[in-house]
Structure 1
């Protein structure tokens, strides 16, 4: 990074200049004003952005027994949630999330979309909750509940004490599985059968935290906010189906054939992909299993969620993932026969393996026993340990979507961001880290990443962002996720958020400061719930920089950026003064390249503080050097809206 190399330059001096009139659109006092971040500083969340000495977080452990009815395309379940109240507060009610209710015709989600779908054409009846009981103090009793859209309030017969109080909630439920309109979860037919991608498939505890108490935002399709715990779940399906689930399979002897078990053991020791069920073997012994059912038991520890996929049409392959410290995991892919191909899903497990191994080394070790990629009807969606991608994906798009969705294992599955309020942290942080995977994989086979989430038009990202920065209707990154319309969801939530981290790393802090700080942020907040203010404070503290001007300009506003070289003039002492201006509200460090008559050039790093008290200033070049040109941002690394004023050449 150029910052360190240029910091030692002593021949060039920065002096104030009144030669250029102030630019009305840039106000130093506004750009560098004290910044009051929205999140609190207290014993739970420290001023350094770390979890404080009194940090607490509630816990939800689950045992779920579910049955898939493939004739009715429905799922029913019995669930026990063991909830631990580690907060200092006494709770008189509990809140659960009922995300299936989003599909009801008159849900808040459909109202937010401005449309009411017809029954069976984009809607379902949502959850039917048949029974709710709580087990508390040795007694198990039915309890009154209040259902409100995608939330369920449970009124407790006795208060739940804080600082470790425990209660178990027992529920019975059922719902009709949405078809292709389900989006994040769905079922659909393929050549050899059907695939069911099951997520949001059980009532889930809402989060009670130190910021809002019960966080009960309705589900308007902005993903999730969940506490951590251990999950044991049993899924009963027709005997000829394979179930791929988050976590580790607990009963392979009961549900896998001898051939499948043997091949799976081989895959667990292989860096090359091993076919557990080849496309030509789909059905096979399972078709002869009869018309009965089998129950698959999975367990996943220290996770915020689980999902699964079930099909009678799955091919299946796997390979070993080698993790730091000698640990291993399994990369696995499940896909229908029509997805197979040398440049299609035959390479999926290779993509999963490399993504997990590389991100584990670069950022934080992957913690779970498997990482699974599913080709099914719910395309482009992530859950802990399992992701859903597209049946027809192949080539670059398959690699990019796989790396991106598996990358979500770090954000928000390990670092538990609140996706419902701060989707930019989930999507933007993940888009940032998966750009590295595109460069790392197979000597850059699919680099650079230029899909719809990063440089949507395929060009230079700092140019691609300019229309968004110039759009007066574009929302700031730090907007409530539900208010961001589809027009701006990818450009702001994914692209601008990711580009902000790229600029922070490469242009503001440098990798030598950014990378260790970012890694430590992940480690400190693994399996916890950081808020935006925690990230901002942590990066300030750990990287040793007051970045208020950056958080305000890039995240809290939608400011534009424009710097200009306005004059090259001789000084009375025989030197040269190069006048530079900051013309727009956004401020950033920038490189000034000075070209000399002898053919050499010098790069001068101008910090953001160049404009902390002024809109323009003079760069002093000592006598004896003949300046022929001056250029700001010569390597085209910053989102400058008007590059025509970035260069002046003497006589040019």
Structure 2
């Protein structure tokens, strides 16, 4: 550090000089408003981010009948759709989504699939390349108007246009029917959002079924029909409506679905109905179908079928699962005074993990998300374990996370399973209720959901190992080459590095907003306001951005611009520090400081060698050459010095005198924005006595110069070191330039031996030394009656 001595009158330079230096700016102004990037507010969507007085949305109600063929792994169905036009527009045709057509041999996804043939390939990789051999996709049998008249239709890959015989005017409704069939994909060979898993040990199938029916596309005030093709990444945007779905399955199957079972007397045994009633007052999951009962069902094949009928109100989609392998447990909670039946369906292969955790995680997720967003209003919430790694639908989701065959599991498998259940159950809020356009903006459901997932994980267990949410966890992605990144505000199908971009980066940004920029009180109020405003509606990015600013009372355009619209990264550098003290004018004090500096000044190399090589100087040999200055002490205080000081002090006001004698320390920090992403400047000062002080400077410090600023700190005692972002709040990608004096930032490298055999998980290791105890440490049935 450098100590400079300034005249008291020169203190003005400390404030004036840096301000002049910050008036220049290069490149795009990072604090420019987003007005030109956001749509113009109107009567449908206001400038505050709230729905306008004329906001409208369409409605689609369904009556669906499907049959599951367990011999051919196929589905045959028919549906009646009642579409209500609540827009101010006249519609001459309707667009219907045919999402199963992504598995058609001639799908755009297959045609545009890229890849390489490796010298060594797994059979799974080969199956993926040969997925076009699977005869997938909807086989549309008919499209008819209510009454039986055939309607003309045109299929454009994953979209179908249905031409209406007469224009559908505002406030009018039309009912038409569609009949279809399709083959279900083997999820282990063709990994999609639904499918089946075959268990060769007992020759049974487990089905997780979604996108199984032609679904209405969204028509709204933003882009009219959302009929962008389904290519795989961009998921679904759907209108709300009421559903009644009848599912015919083998008689010994257990069927779980979106909504409430309408005919329990026809499909459940008296024992199962009794257990369900017990679950309503239970404080831990109650088994409706035990593992023993499921294992017995695996070995038999009942003749005939059963039809399970479910109904759901005001939902945007419907999904279901079916298998004779299912264990089924349930537990009821109350949310805002309303009962919510939390349930899980899973095969024995999921135990002991699933019986111990799944339904408890469902209940915890509903409670925590409701606290941070809106109260969960649906009557059920379901987690299903099967071949799909993680996928969400209203009231029901598919989740992975299977223990080893001996019932043991690693910590990574346990927390991975809990996290995926939290994430997928959390999707009930984003986007099933707060119904954003997933086909256009994946981050609006995945990113917001991942953020609340992080909050929920941290409330599950102290020190929960969350993968996403903490700023330090996004650093590796932010460091990657810009050619491998896209801004968050990129269409779902064009995003590079989908997981980091759509999930982790927006979730991390919201965490930084909450913890560092707004603070929890302002953020939580604004985030909850957004959820309340747009529950059961169709929000767009501008609605989120504007609501967060409106409800927090904070201009955040600079944050949205940097974090969401660019690929800039966070890297603030503390380039240097200058240390100033005020010249007190007191000769005794100042001379003592000069004496200390002179005595502590290091000798140069030449001076050190001269002491050794030059035994005597000429003046040493001839003392007569000495004069006044050979004995003069420039640091000595004379009576004249004291008199001049007293005369100087008399001219000063009492306030000015106190400034001279206060002994304050002035530190000028030279700050540079290396990464380009505007962030608050968080400074930790460590004093000479070991105590520390944190200063959080808002990001607006960069508003007049986005690249380089200086900041002066005034302290009553000496500072020995400065550090930027010591608690890793801003995802800074280079910690080596965050300290002054500089500190080495440790890195690690790993040594490994090729073809090492994977070690057993710790639970497995312990179980081998404790024979006779269940490997998973719990009941083999995964729960209690």
Equivalent positions of 1:166-177 (< 5 A) are 166-177=173-184
Q: CA–CA distance in 1 between the matches of 2:194 and 2:428? A: 18
How many Å apart are 1:286 and its aligned residue? Answer: 9.8
RMSD after superposition: 2.7
Q: Which residue does the alignment assign to 1:128?
A: 139
- The answer to which of 178-187 and 288-297 deviates more is 288-297
Match of 1:551 among 547, 560, 563: 560
Confirm whether residue 447 of structure 1 aligns to residue 464 of structure 2.
yes
CA contact (8 A) 2:237 2:435 kept: yes
Q: CA–CA distance in 2 between the matches of 1:464 and 1:23? A: 34
How many Å apart are 1:413 and its aligned residue? Answer: 0.8
How many Å apart are 1:391 and its aligned residue? Answer: 6.0
Q: Which residue does the alignment assign to 2:150?
A: 142
Change (3 A) 1:432 1:23: farther
- The answer to which of 93-102 and 140-149 deviates more is 140-149
1:216 alignment partner, SS class:
coil
How many Å apart are 1:132 and its aligned residue? Answer: 0.7
Q: Which residue does the alignment assign to 2:677?
A: 586
Confirm whether residue 374 of structure 1 aligns to residue 384 of structure 2.
yes
Confirm whether residue 330 of structure 1 aligns to residue 341 of structure 2.
yes
How many Å apart are 1:287 and its aligned residue? Answer: 8.0
How many Å apart are 1:536 and its aligned residue? Answer: 0.7
Query: What CA deviation, in whole Å up to 9, does each residue of 1:151-210 have, x standing for no partner?
Result: 000111100002x11111211111111111142110121344211111000000000010
How many Å apart are 1:608 and its aligned residue? Answer: 1.1
Confirm whether residue 476 of structure 1 aligns to residue 487 of structure 2.
yes
Change (3 A) 1:194 1:125: closer
Q: CA–CA distance in 1 between the matches of 2:549 and 2:672? A: 23
Query: What CA deviation, in whole Å up to 9, does each residue of 1:209-251 have, x standing for no partner?
Result: 1011111011111210101011110001111111100111010
1:493 alignment partner, SS class:
helix
Confirm whether residue 515 of structure 1 aligns to residue 540 of structure 2.
no
Query: What CA deviation, in whole Å up to 9, does each residue of 1:490-514 have, x standing for no partner?
Result: 1111111111111111111111100
Match of 1:402 among 414, 421, 427: 421
Q: CA–CA distance in 2 between the matches of 1:209 and 1:167? A: 18
Query: What CA deviation, in whole Å up to 9, does each residue of 1:429-474 have, x standing for no partner?
Result: 1111111111111x43x70312xx557xxx9325334324x53330
How many Å apart are 1:56 and its aligned residue? Answer: 0.2
Q: Which residue does the alignment assign to 1:10?
A: none
Q: CA–CA distance in 2 between the matches of 1:350 and 1:246? A: 19
How many Å apart are 1:540 and its aligned residue? Answer: 1.2
Equivalent positions of 1:411-430 (< 5 A) are 411-430=430-449
How many Å apart are 1:69 and its aligned residue? Answer: 1.1
Confirm whether residue 355 of structure 1 aligns to residue 362 of structure 2.
no
CA contact (8 A) 2:450 2:504 kept: yes
Match of 1:531 among 540, 558, 566: 540
Q: Which residue does the alignment assign to 2:74?
A: 74
CA contact (8 A) 1:105 1:117 kept: no
Q: Which residue does the alignment assign to 1:432?
A: 451
Change (3 A) 1:228 1:122: farther
Q: CA–CA distance in 1 between the matches of 2:501 and 2:263? A: 44
How many Å apart are 1:539 and its aligned residue? Answer: 0.8
In structure 1, stretches of 5+ residues that fail to align are: 1-12
How many Å apart are 1:580 and its aligned residue? Answer: 3.3
Q: CA–CA distance in 1 between the matches of 2:421 and 2:50? A: 31
How many Å apart are 1:285 and its aligned residue? Answer: 7.6
* Greater strand share, structure number: 1
Change (3 A) 1:375 1:621: closer
How many Å apart are 1:15 and its aligned residue? Answer: 3.9
How many Å apart are 1:362 and its aligned residue? Answer: 3.1
Count the aligned residue pairs. Answer: 624
CA contact (8 A) 2:14 2:712 kept: yes
- The answer to which of 13-22 and 515-524 deviates more is 13-22
Change (3 A) 1:232 1:242: same
Query: What CA deviation, in whole Å up to 9, does each residue of 1:511-558 have, x standing for no partner?
Result: 110001101110110111111111111111111111111111110001
Q: CA–CA distance in 2 between the matches of 1:65 and 1:17? A: 76
Change (3 A) 1:562 1:338: closer
Q: Which residue does the alignment assign to 1:8?
A: none
Q: CA–CA distance in 2 between the matches of 1:609 and 1:518? A: 22
Match of 2:326 among 314, 321, 324: 314
In structure 2, stretches of 5+ residues that fail to align are: 1-12, 116-126, 404-412, 584-663, 745-785
How many Å apart are 1:289 and its aligned residue? Answer: 8.6
CA contact (8 A) 1:477 1:492 kept: yes
2:81 alignment partner, SS class:
strand
Change (3 A) 1:79 1:635: same
Q: CA–CA distance in 1 between the matches of 2:522 and 2:368? A: 20
How many Å apart are 1:373 and its aligned residue? Answer: 1.0
How many Å apart are 1:128 and its aligned residue? Answer: 1.1
